[in-house]
Structure 1
Amino acid sequence: MTDFPTLESERLTLRKLAIEDADALLPAFSDDAQMRWWSHAPIREAAALREHLAPRIDNDGWRAFAIVLKGEARVIGMVSVGERRQGGVGEIGYMILPGLVGRGLAREAVARFLDHLFFTEGKRRVFADTDPDNLPSRRLLEHLGFKLEGVLREEWETHIGVRDTTLYGLLRREWAARRGDISA
């Protein structure tokens, strides 16, 4: 199993996601607006969310960290990475609870996660797959330096119909340059 270090940022702690976190995450996973752009419909029951998360916990192919507000010990979201191919490439995902969107918490969590993925784990490339109409997610990725690499037409069959996808990518050297670390 992959180690799950605890990661710290100014306002947040990122720690291994636990099945018990399903209750805290349910407001996001059950929210129609939050889940509109996900590949599956909202999950309305805590038991169903635990069942959804269970195979993804303790799985080397998919790792998730709970996002916790410092000083409150309250789970407010999650960030995850899926190992998509050998050679240091991972796909990230992220979610923040409704009501906390727009405060820079997802950006802070994802930035800290990228530091870990690139500089500790040695990933060379990280990408994200998002719906073209998910403008907040696209803005977050662009703000962090991800580049739009392509649009896959009619890529996903989802609970809202067949959807295109926009692929965003970020290379370790690009992230290092943004962070001022020219040695990476």
Structure 2
Amino acid sequence: MPDTPLIETDQYRLRKLEPGDSAALFETFASEEACRFLARPRFESEAELCAWLTDPEWNGRSWVAIDKSDGALVGRFVAVPAGDDQVSELGYVTVANRQGRGVARACTAALITHLFEREDHRRVFAEIDSRNLASVALAERLGFTREACLREHERTHAGLCDMLVYGLLRREWTMGCTLL
């Protein structure tokens, strides 16, 4: 698996997640509202969240976004290999008090640009709970194409969920940003 490199935008620094980051993420991941679209229910303790975030069996890479203006941790972003080393599934969570401010859009765009330009990916995709309208809107704003609706595809703490698959090919990526 490739390293988890530093990725910078004008406003955010995406760095590799560290175990101590669970403290800043816990308030969001302990909220039933914030976790309603996760496969698992909210976290009961910071230790439980830390173990999940740093699970050595997990095969993905995890970044946290730091706001350069105040040093606050504002989100978590992941890339998980899928199929071959030119395809990754993406995931993103913005901390509760920063949602709706463009964090996910800016940081996901930077991650996509990195994967396409620096790691030679040909495709990225996201599986999104069909009820997660904010995530669907983000994928569409970033230029992803809805490729499938997998009905009753995933059993979560909320029951059976329909999952939407959104894909983006390197040749379709028009929102590239300058990587610092």
TM-score tier after normalising by the smaller chain length: over 0.9
Instruction: Give the unaligned 5+ runs of structure 1.
Output: none
Q: How far apart are the structure 1 equivalents of 2:167 and 2:49?
A: 29
Following superposition, the deviation at residue 95 of structure 1 comes to 0.4
The answer as to 2:90 corresponding to 1:92 is yes
Q: How far apart are the structure 2 equivalents of 1:159 and 1:56?
A: 23
The count of residues paired between Structure 1 and Structure 2 equals 177
Q: How far apart are the structure 1 equivalents of 2:101 and 2:8?
A: 17
Counterpart in the other structure of 1:145: 143
Counterpart in the other structure of 1:25: 25
The 5 A counterparts of 1:148-159 are 148-159=146-157
Question: Does the residue aligned with 2:54 lie in a helix, a strand or coil?
Answer: helix
The 5 A counterparts of 1:69-84 are 69-84=67-82
Q: Is the 8 A contact 2:23 2:46 kept in 1?
A: yes
Q: How far apart are the structure 2 equivalents of 1:80 and 1:142?
A: 18
C-alpha RMSD of matched pairs (Å)? 1.6
Q: How far apart are the structure 2 equivalents of 1:131 and 1:99?
A: 22
| Structure with more relative contact order (C-alpha pairs < 8 Å, separation 6 or more) | 2
- TM-score where L is the length of structure 1: 0.91
Following superposition, the deviation at residue 119 of structure 1 comes to 0.6
Instruction: Give the unaligned 5+ runs of structure 2.
Output: none
Counterpart in the other structure of 2:43: 43
Q: How far apart are the structure 1 equivalents of 2:120 and 2:33?
A: 35
Question: Does the residue aligned with 1:116 lie in a helix, a strand or coil?
Answer: helix
Q: Counterpart of 2:94 in structure 1: which amino acid?
A: I
Following superposition, the deviation at residue 16 of structure 1 comes to 0.4
Counterpart in the other structure of 1:53: 53
